[in-house]
A and B are shown apart, each in its own frame.
Chain A
Amino acid sequence: MRRTLAILDYALGATRRRGGRNLAIAAGLAFVVGLVSAVLLLTGALEREFALSVDATPDLVVQRVVGGRPGLIEVDSSSALSELPAVSSVRPRVWGYLFVPSLEANVTIVGATPGELGEALSHQIVEGRGPRPGANQECLAGAALAKRLGLRPGDGIALPVHGDIRVLDAVGLFHADSALHSADVLVVSESMARDLLGIPQGMATDLAIRLTTPDEAGVVANHLERALGQVGQVRVLDKRLLARTYELTFGGRSGLSAIMLLPALAAFLLLAWERLTGLGGVERREIGVLKAIGWSTSDVLLARLLESGLVSLGGTLFGLLAGYVYVFQFGAPGLRAALLGWSTLYPELVLVPNADLGQAAALLGAVVVPFIATSLVPAWRAAVVDPDETMRGAA
């Protein structure tokens, strides 16, 4: 142990002595690793975000299609569907988007039943309280939306409705596992949602269906269309297909980005290989001196391993950290547009910091191991020949 520590001390000194070169190599590594890790982190965060979002989605969602676009659906049709085997529950949902000129953005208005307001949402409230039954002017704001607007419990929110203004009291803030579910959401009573969105009684935005066996969603979807007797006029959205679409979209985009970065990584490793396989005269002479004053080949190799390990590990860890900060602190400007595309789903997607340690370890291994190997090979070649010959060769 003392030997290792003493050689580590020597390696630290050697790293400092060749500071300029080592710093340049570490910086290059950090840059390339930072880019690759940013793509992986951003993709992972988006996939996680959408996976959480899909988890909260009903097994099936039934929409009426009018002129090829989603329209309102009759609440009554839910009774026909709930009698189907495999259907566990049918819930007519009242929700929609409301454009708020002062925010220059859409807010998602979600209507909740008194039961949902009282129970289901209560454990998600992080600040304030839930709306009281019958208090139509009270609402819950998504924590992410509140953070963006600087909204606190007790503040009023003015919403434009049919040329008029409705002022709601934000009595509480709620948190959702997925930032998607709280980034632009206002939860109000169902009757207030109908008022704000102009949805008449007896109609709903869609029907959310839970199944007893979600694996049979595809079969049940066909039964639903037939039960409604409106094949071609209703659309049934399958949760699994939605998940698969997200997976393919982001997986494909991140794969493409990663492939585009691979040549940069390969070029850098090649450069490092070129730089390191040709040991400089000074380094070759140093190895000869160490051997001559009694260092064994394994001592020399350990020193070299520690030096290149310090450089490559330092550069790679810094790159991983920089990638993390770039994605989760700064929101990955530039890269985000490439991965999300140019369509804006809503005003702001707040990424939840999440690190995949396995992925980081794999990236660390993929960079550090070959890097150390490229430095050990020439050092070993210099260390196994007579020290005198090594020094002559270096002269």
Chain B
Amino acid sequence: MTREPASTEASTEEALGVSHVFKRYRDGDTMVEAVSDVSLSVPRASLSVLVGPSGAGKTTLLGILGGLVLPTRGDARIDGRSVVHLRDHHRTALRRQKVGFAFQDLALIHGMSLLENVLLPLTPQGGARKQDVARAEGLLERFGLLDKRDRRVERLSGGEKQRGAIARTLILEPPILLLDEPTAHLDGENAAAIVDALAELRDEGTTLVAATHDARLSEDPRIDRALHMADGKLC
């Protein structure tokens, strides 16, 4: 495992990057600084983890990296392109093209089957065609969920939902994958399977960043880089 200092310069090898970003939220009458002056460059085809206690700002930084959250100040880049000044639909288009997200709260839509959830990102492109369904089934098989394809997601276990959410992020074959606590709901065996899958994706050329406080992931020897966060800053 390598633990490198965060690079702040954008390069052709950079998949994601932020420079001096801040993010403040209003929480009632007070302002909370979730991310404070963070700079970071994530190289292509790498597997990085953001490690830190709850409230350290990992999820917010992940959101900024993926263009899901706009920073209050500073710059964020996806594939070398700044997203801070992009209009909403351009930012969405870039995100759809480049970034897949798997959320901490699983974010599968209840009332829909697992397969429907996995195919959902394809809807704005005109919906799923035969080959898309075949690809989705391949992804579900990869995560051991093919036999659950038609099950409504509220009837899946936490681990199954987690794997289903990751499978959904892969349906658009994004070159960048951001995951928030991807092993949080999983037992040892399932967590190991997820880590294996993430390492495999990295080997296939995908850039991955995962926010976690799960040592099973952060201390896995296949992790390229572990970035520690506390109080909104990189340590």
Contact = CB atoms under 8 A, between A and B. Distances in A.
A387 B95 CA distance: 12
A298 B169 CA distance: 21
A241 interface: no
Contact of B126 (A3, A285, A296): A3
Contact of B121 (A7, A288, A294, A387): A294
Nearest to B59: A388
B139 interface: no
B69 A298 contact: no
Contacts of A389: 25, 69
A174 to B, nearest CB: 60
Contacts of B123: 3, 6-7, 9-10, 295, 299
Given A3-B125, A7-B123, A296-B88, A388 B111 contact: no
A366 interface: no
B86 interface: no
Interface residues of A, number: 32
A297 interface: yes
A299 B112 contact: no
Nearest to A392: B25
B96 A6 contact: no
Tell which of B68, B123, B169 has the most Cβ of chain A within 10 Å: B123
B89 interface: yes
Contact of B88 (A3, A7, A384, A391): A384
A387 B120 CA distance: 16
A391 B59 CA distance: 12
A291 interface: yes
B124 A391 contact: no
B156 to A, nearest CB: 16
B109 interface: yes
Interface in B151-178: 168-169, 172
A338 interface: no
A388 B124 contact: no
Contact of B124 (A6, A9, A387): A6
A5 B124 contact: no
Contact of A297 (B59, B92, B122): B92
B188 interface: no
B168 A293 contact: yes
A33 B151 CA distance: 39
Interface stretch (B50-58, B99-107, B141-149, B194-202): B99-107
Contacts of B74: none
A5 to B, nearest CB: 7
**Interface bin, chain B:** 35 or more
B46 interface: no
A292 B103 CA distance: 9
Nearest to A394: B105
Contacts of A100: none
Nearest to B113: A13
Given A17-B112, A296-B92, A388 B69 contact: yes
A10 B127 CA distance: 9
A27 to B, nearest CB: 21
Nearest to A288: B107
Contacts of B168: 293
A297 B105 CA distance: 22
A388 B68 contact: yes
Given A3-B125, A7-B123, A7-B124, A297 B89 contact: yes
Nearest to A384: B88
Contacts of B89: 296-298
A292 B107 CA distance: 10
B63 interface: yes
A293 B120 contact: yes
Interface string A8-27: 01100100110000000000
Tell which of B70, B110, B126 has the most Cβ of chain A within 10 Å: B126
A296 B94 CA distance: 11
Contacts of A17: 110-112
A395 interface: yes
B1 interface: no
A282 B127 CA distance: 23
B203 to A, nearest CB: 25
A13 B112 contact: yes
Interface in A254-306: 282, 285-286, 288-299
B69 A386 contact: yes
Interface in A358-392: 384, 386-389, 391
Contact of A294 (B92, B103, B126): B92
11 contacts: A2-B126, A6-B125, A17-B110, A289-B107, A292-B68, A292-B101, A293-B96, A293-B169, A294-B95, A295-B124, A389-B69
Given A3-B123, A297-B89, 4 more contacts: A6-B126, A10-B123, A290-B120, A389-B69
Interface of A: 2-3, 5-7, 9-10, 13, 16-17, 282, 285-286, 288-299, 384, 386-389, 391, 395
10 A-B pairs closest in CB distance = A294-B96, A6-B127, A2-B126, A17-B111, A388-B63, A296-B92, A293-B121, A299-B124, A289-B107, A6-B123
